Structure 1
């Protein structure tokens, strides 16, 4: 199982953001998470990424309890819904990817750009891209 969540609860000063949530995601599964504002969607992702640590229950990613191990983080991508790029940032897409913690190898950068259909825009400034294009680069 890729993700295994058991009895996850998050409380913000008496307000339950998540209450006893349990589910699993297997390889090949597709999962959509929908709900109104304040339903706990962002809280769930922050917990899964280890960004929010004040919760009850267990979260396992690739079989590792996230409280014990952060090894899995290099295998996960997270793109926030709001853009975080200053439109005046002078770096190109290729330069941004080369700064990644994952790789600065130009061949791997080119392969990554091919996978998200951004190779033709590789030398364009990241700030000149649409929000959707920026999100594809960050994936």
Structure 2
């Protein structure tokens, strides 16, 4: 079983990536300096494929950046890929809910906001190296710039 923390793909929601493209601001509901072990769906697929070949690895495999990164890291990756300056701007979970509700509905958006409120109360959202894909499988997850390159964001 794989255990990601947050998916880079969340940053592709139209209102999130749109603000990066149009205003140079990666707005996301995590506090400034909050560290997250981001992973991509591509990373999960790599780990899942490896686990089919590795019967000796059992239990939960944590997938994500280690050490964990802050919101400025993906903002800088967007800057590099889009050819424009972008900075990370922490927004409140309620502001994120309001911008997400038109896409997924008010109830699900409220649930998402609640999860970010709870997450923001934690010291970080990092994997531990002991159960990481890096240690158990020798698979290093993509950096933000690698991910954006692999999915062709330009």
TM bin, normalised by shorter chain, reads under 0.3
Give the number of the structure with larger relative contact order, counting CA–CA contacts within 8 Å between residues 6 or more apart: 2
Length-normalised TM-score, structure 2: 0.21
Higher helix share: 2
Length-normalised TM-score, structure 1: 0.22
Larger radius of gyration: 1
